[in-house]
Amino acid sequence: MSERTTVLLASPYGQTGGGMGSIMTYLASMQSGPATRYQFKQVETRGGGHVLLSPYYVAVAAGQIASESIRGRLALVHLNLAEGGSVYRKAALLAVAKVAGSKVLLHLHAARIRQFHQSVNGAGKWLLRWMFQTADHTVVLGDVWRQWVIENFNVPPGKVSIVYNGVPTPRQAQRPKRTDKAFHLLFVGNLSERKGVSDLLHALAAPPLRERNVKLTLAGGGPLDHYQQLAECLGIADHTRFAGWLTQDGARDLMLSADALILPSYDEGLPLVILEALASGTPVICTPVGSVPEVLKDHETALLVMPGAQDDIVGAVLELIDNASLRASLALAGSRLYARVFTLEAFSHSITNLYSVVLADRPRPSAMWSKAQKVANDGGD
């Protein structure tokens, strides 16, 4: 392998339950396609333990950046940026990477970065501005985030590109045979108010759904005891199952067993779980937040409900229960959209093309629109 081909992927890849870290793991493990031009090394920046241990991981990551630079192999550092503590960890690594003479790609995937920006003081705002202006290029999940970065941090438009996430094709093509006649809803994600879990449980307890044979599985971490108690208080404990954190294979198996995925969030970037549902041919009920409305259309590729609107959730679930043709059309349209846009191969191609652009010092005259943006604009033609 030639010199300076190492790409360090800095993200909390040790966490379970999917996320940007898992995408980087997939990217690093690909055995064919443009990704093979690079030698990928993953760098843990958070760790799975107590947050007080994160400085240790940052120090180790900084040492890896310095080591690869000294060896003359470091081509680029790919920093995955979320909100909160991730900002400070990635700011430190960005500084180390620039001192080491490396190119840096800043990959923004935070759902609440705008709220974080509003909450910090002047020093925090200055730090974010420095990060986006110092990085050689920024990747965002959609136009809403691209415009925010350009307008708030005065970043040249040619240095901000849109690349939508990708997920692997499910190994199992056929859905398992159903042993009951219930309508199975699936929620996957960290159980929290931001994800709309209370809204979902209250909707399930509403008389129109209580009268139907609806079963809800919630897979993910968070305050399970709190939401289990809420389900009991609402009288729907026998209609809910709290599965906790699952392996990625376990989550995919649940996806194939579900009649619909539901994600009534208040804030999102572009959730991987939605892309995984599309890949599985599972109809999606979700809210039009973040980049979701850029790539999904109501009653064409998903059912969209407003955040906090419990009646909307009830109506969407009833519509899927009573309309088999709608379930089939959403499943087919979602599968086709995934195959055109959201495969891991498409993500790898877009990211590695950007690596080439950044390493060649060729700022783009306009945003790097992914196929999904074209699909959203032209209706899928």
* Residues 291-309: tens digit of each pLDDT: 999 999 999 999 999 999 9
CA distance 15 to 21: 8
pLDDT score recorded for residue 191 = 97
pLDDT of residue 81: 94
Res. 370 pLDDT band, cuts 50 70 90:
very low
What confidence tens digit (pLDDT) does each residue in 109-160 have?
988 999 999 999 999 999 999 999 999 999 999 999 999 999 999 999 999 9
In terms of Cα–Cα distance, which of 43, 109, 107, 37 is closest to 75?
Answer: 37
> Any idea which of 116-125, 152-161, 162-171, 326-335 has the lowest mean pLDDT?
162-171
Are the beta carbons of 272 and 18 closer than 8 angstroms? yes
Q: Which long-range contacts (CB under 8 A, 24 or more apart) does 26-31 make?
A: 26/166, 26/168, 26/344, 27/344, 27/347, 27/348, 27/351, 30/344, 30/348
Classify domain 6-166+343-378 by CATH architecture.
Answer: 3-Layer(aba) Sandwich (3.40)
- Element containing residue 43 per DSSP (H, E): strand 39-43
**pLDDT value for 2:** 46
Judge whether 342 and 279 are in contact, CB under 8 Å.
Answer: yes
| 190: confidence class by pLDDT, cuts 50, 70, 90 | very high
Q: Which helix (H) or strand (E) holds 166?
A: none
What is the helix (H) or strand (E) element at residue 304, kind and residue range? strand 303-304
Each residue's pLDDT tens digit, 25-44: 777 777 677 778 899 998 88
| pLDDT surpasses 80 at 374 | no
Tokens of 39: 């030698």
pLDDT category at 226 given cuts 50, 70, 90 is very high
Check if the beta carbon of residue 221 is closer than 8 Å to that of residue 190.
Answer: yes
- Whether 370 and 341 have beta carbons less than 8 Å apart is answered as yes
Q: Where exactly does CATH 3.40.50.2000 map onto the chain?
A: 6-166+343-378, 183-341
pLDDT exceeds 80 at position 169? yes
Judge whether residue 80 has pLDDT over 70. yes
183-341 homologous superfamily: Glycogen Phosphorylase B; (3.40.50.2000)
Quick: pLDDT tens for 84-101. Answer: 999 999 999 999 999 999
Say yes or no to pLDDT of 353 above 70. yes
Q: Reply yes or no on whether the pLDDT at 378 is more than 70.
A: no
What average pLDDT does the chain have?
A: 88
CA distance 371 to 381: 11
Residue 363 reports pLDDT greater than 90: no
Distances, alpha carbon 191 to alpha carbons 114, 136, 256, in Å: 21, 35, 21
Tokens of 175: 């859905």
> Would the pLDDT of 366 be above 60?
no
| pTM for this entry | 0.88
CB 301 within 8 A of CB 333: yes
Residue 173: pLDDT band with limits 50, 70, 90: low
> Which has more confidence, 44 or 217?
217
Count of alpha carbons within 13 angstroms of residue 110, beta-carbon side: 21
In this predicted structure, the answer to whether residue 161 has a pLDDT above a threshold of 90 is: yes
